[in-house]
Amino acid sequence: MISVNEFKNGLTIEVDGELWRVVEFQHVKPGKGSAFVRSKLKNLRTGAVQEKTFRAGEKVNQAQIDRKKMQYLYADGDNYVFMDTNT
């Protein structure tokens, strides 16, 4: 879990069962009311960009993403097959 106060551009989080990348964020402290974080998130599955507002201090799940350089081989129906070039 990570606090929304610790957001950084490029951070990958899980919200509502979907993986999102933080595109931009802004901490807002209005004169009246409590602070909040306004963010723009990109869905990693669909590519859709959505604006979402979190209460300051709210916690979300940080996703652990591993990146590897792979070579595309072929498509098999709805799946894609890649080869790890390092092995």
Q: Is the pLDDT of residue 87 over 80?
A: no
The pLDDT of residue 86: 83
Q: Please state the separation of Cα 51 from the chain's center in Å.
A: 12
Domain count of the fold of the chain? 1
Which residues span the domain enclosing 25?
2-84
Q: What pLDDT does residue 35 have?
A: 93
- Give the CATH number of the domain where residue 53 resides: 2.30.30.30
Query: CA-CA distance, 9 to 25, in Å (whole number)?
Result: 7
Asked if residues 39 and 24 have their Cβ atoms less than 8 Å apart, the reply is yes
**pTM of the entire predicted model:** 0.74
- pLDDT category at 82 given cuts 50, 70, 90 is very high
**Can you give the pLDDT at residue 49?**
96
Question: Band of the pLDDT at 39, cuts 50, 70, 90?
Answer: very high
